[in-house]
Structure formats: C-alpha cells, structure tokens
Chains A and B, each alone.
Chain A
Amino acid sequence: MVPVPWPGLLLGCLGLLLSPRAAAEFTPSLDSDFTFTLPAGRRECFYQPMRKEASLELEYQVLDGAGLDVDFHLLSPKGETLVFDERKSDGVHTVETEDGDYMFCFDNTFSTISEKVIFFELILDNMGEDGQDQEDWKKYVTGTDLLDMKLEDILESINSVKARLSKSVQIQTLLRAFEARDRNIQESNFDRVNFWSMVNLGVMVVVSAVQVYMLKSLFEDKRKSRT
C-alpha cells in the first residue's frame, strides 16, 4: 500500500478546482474521422462546436463513386462561407476558429445516379481553454515529495508519447483512405476490362455472322448475279 502523499493530493485537488476540465497538458488534441455513403442527389452537413483561438483542420477524400468528386462547403458560426470546393476529389483546410459551431457540408446533388463514399478527418488543436493558467500554476508547485516530481516527469513523457501516437494514428488513417480509394479504382478497372472485352468479343462474332448471312440472303432473293 502506497502511503497517500497528502501535500501532493491537496495540490492536485487545487488544480482540479482551477480547471473544471482536465489539465490542458493532459488533454490531447481531439480528432475524429468518419466514412459514410452519400446517396446521389443528397447533401449531408456536419457541425463541430469550437472554442476561440483553437484551430480546426479538415481533410476529406472521395473513396468510391463514379467521377470521385464532391462539392464541399465550410461555414463559420456566423454563416459566412469560409471554403467552397467545387467537384474536388480530396482537400485539406485549416481554419483559426472562434467560438461557435462550424458547419461543413458534402454535396452530391450534381450527380443523379452515383452515390459517393466520403471519408473525412477532423483535427482539433488548442482546445484546452486554461492552457496558460495551468503552465503558470505549475511554476508554483514545489513538490516536496521526490516521488511526486519523478512521477510528474514520467507523466510528461507519457503525454508526449501519446501525442505522437495520436499523430501516427492520424497519418495511418489518411494512408488507409488513400489506399482504399486506389483499390476501389483498381477493382473498377478490373470489372470494366472484363465486361467490355466480353461485350467486344460478342459484338464482333455477332456482326460477322450477320454480315455473312445478309450477303447470302441478298443472293437468295435474286437468281441473277449482281453486276
């Protein structure tokens, strides 16, 4: 049983009171990614609440669907259009944010028959509101417990490893999206080659047979030869 380090615990509670949310240095940058099917002629919008002086990075790709393109809008909380991409197949946008809900939309209304599979990734940075306060407060912590100080160092390195691992996961997700798109293109190539070659063959055979029989039929009707 580890004896409870009361001074450290009290300081910890003080820290918890100062910031209702977790201490900024332990809040990793939040990110999420989604893959969904956008039916033909539809428009899907998503909303992301943001704080001010944070940054929002949005990356999207069209993975499947004829033409591999989609319209993209990004609107600020006030309703003004920050970004408008027309019929692009992928895009990256970073905005410095203010307080409010940012809306972004994927528009497939220009296509009447093909549905698109769209992948997008949101990377949020600087969402910890009390970042500055925490740093200052840390300066005044005189950890009388040596164990506490060592553990603090360990926690810091764990935090930096976690941030790097999150970045790795993000990059991995991105590469996965690229690979998925290329694989879809290639599978469609395969199907196209097989189908159209067979059609080509069939048409060739039919046309040549028809040619021969039509010629023969011309000669069946008339007894004389054509000059």
Chain B
Amino acid sequence: MKSQLIGFLMNFWISFSLALYFHSGEREEKCIIEDIPTDTLVIGNYKVQRWDIHKQEFLESAPGLGMFVTVTTPSAEVLLSKLYGPQGTFSFTSHLSGEHIICLESNSTRFVSFGGSKLRIHLDIRVGEHFLDESVVQAKDKVNEVNIRLEHLIEQVHHISKEQDYEREREEKFRKTSEETNSNILWWAIVQTLILISIGIWQIKSLRDFFISKKLV
C-alpha cells in the first residue's frame, strides 16, 4: 500500500517534468482564461518552485511557499479562492457558461523582490475530463483497466458534445450581433439623411426669415 502511494507520488512528480512552465515575479498574479460550457469540471495541477540566489537554481521544494488560486465566473463572482501548498490540485465546476478566469498568486511575504528572485510555475489544466493516472490504471487487472479506460472515453465524448452545444449558442450570439450591426448601419444612415434634410430646411427658413426681418431681402 505504501509502495503504491510512493509510486503514485513519483508518477505525479515525474509527470510534471514534461508540463508547460513559466516564470513569474514573487507577488505577481498570473491569470488564464478558460471559456467553458456550463456544468463542466475543470481540474488544474500546478507545482511552484522558487529561485535560490545562492545555489543559482530552482529549489525542488520550498517550504512555506503557497499559491492563492482564485477562480472568477463570467458574472464576476468568485467561485473558488483558496490557498494551496507548493504543489497542488484544484478543481471547480462551472455553473454558468462563459469565460472563467483562473488566477495564481504566490503568498510570498517578500515586499521587495531581490534581483533575480522569481518563481517557476508548472501548470496543467484539464477541462471536462479527469486526469488518467497511467501507473494506477496499468497496475489493476485487465478487466478493471478496460472499465476505467471506457469510463474515461465516455467522459471525453460527453465533454465534446457539451462543447458542441456551447459552440452553437455562441454562434447564435455572433449571428445576432452581425445582423444587428447590419440593420443598425441602415437605420443610422436613414436617420442621418432625414436629419440632414430637415436641418437644411430649417437653416434656409431661419435665414430667410432673418433677412426678411432685417429688411435685406
């Protein structure tokens, strides 16, 4: 049981060696936009390392270092706001469809960032499906493995279908905006022409009355 746990953790650590990473300042907030349909599960894995000035390399583990993870919905309400450790997994399910913003900020208390002090953040975000842990799946017997893989596949198909529906919604909104722009252009042009004509008539009338009253005409 313990060796299984260690194997699982090792795989987790190893799997991060191939994930995308980027650098960020000590108190800098980095945000990612995820445009997702409603009722979608989003799971994020991250690992953060701090640059050690003395050793001139990134420390493998930085005790006390944590990350604030904040998730904001399209209607600007906060869905998730928690402090996690140097390595963590966060997940949330969307209630609305639209652009959700996932922000990561470290809880570092250094107000002055020393020259060259930075953080390396490894990040992996999965939308609509759970992470499939390969070593755990392979260790089980074949029947269970088939079972697990089929369930994962079904999850994927559901996600694709949901994305498709959401895409239809957005295309409709897009079409409405286009048609509205089209009719607005015509409407504004007509209004402008009418106002131009009526102003012209008003101008001539007003000037003629003025000149008549001044006994110039």
Contact = CB atoms under 8 A, between A and B. Distances in A.
Contacts of B139: 16
Interface residues of A, number: 71
A2 B192 contact: no
Interface in A51-107: 51
B20 A122 contact: yes
Contacts of B89: none
A32 B20 contact: yes
A179 B138 contact: no
Interface stretch (B49-57, B75-83, B179-187): B179-187
Contacts of A9: 141
Given A5-B141, A179-B171, A212 B203 contact: yes
A177 B41 CA distance: 20
A219 interface: yes
B45 to A, nearest CB: 11
Given A5-B142, A176-B167, A190 B180 contact: yes
A37 to B, nearest CB: 7
Nearest to A182: B174
Contacts of A141: none
A151 B203 contact: no
A50 B18 CA distance: 7
Contact of A201 (B18, B146, B192): B192
Given A176-B35, A200-B192, A46 B21 contact: yes
Task: Specify the main secondary structure of chain B where it touches its partner.
Answer: helix
A205 B141 contact: no
B149 interface: yes
A113 interface: no
Contacts, number: 163
Interface residues of B, number: 61
Interface string A199-227: 01100110010011001100100000100
Given A23-B138, A194-B184, A197-B188, A32 B125 contact: yes
Contact of B20 (A46, A152, A169, A187): A46
Nearest to B216: A225
Interface in B25-44: 30-35
26 contacts: A21-B14, A22-B135, A32-B19, A34-B125, A35-B33, A36-B32, A47-B23, A51-B18, A147-B142, A151-B145, A151-B146, A154-B146, A155-B149, A158-B153, A162-B149, A162-B156, A169-B156, A180-B170, A183-B174, A189-B181, A201-B195, A204-B192, A211-B203, A216-B207, A219-B216, A225-B216
Interface of A: 2, 4-5, 8-9, 12, 15-16, 20-23, 26-27, 30, 32, 34-37, 44-51, 117, 122, 124, 127, 147-148, 151-152, 154-155, 158-159, 161-162, 165-166, 168-169, 172, 175-176, 179-180, 182-183, 186-187, 189-190, 193-194, 197, 200-201, 204-205, 208, 211-212, 215-216, 219, 225
Interface of B: 14, 17-23, 30-35, 124-125, 134-135, 137-139, 141-143, 145-146, 149-150, 152-153, 156-157, 159-160, 163-164, 167, 170-171, 173-174, 177-178, 180-181, 184-185, 188, 191-192, 195-196, 199-200, 202-203, 206-207, 210, 214, 216
Closest 9 CB pairs of A and B: A22-B134, A197-B188, A151-B142, A35-B33, A183-B174, A190-B181, A208-B199, A46-B22, A225-B216
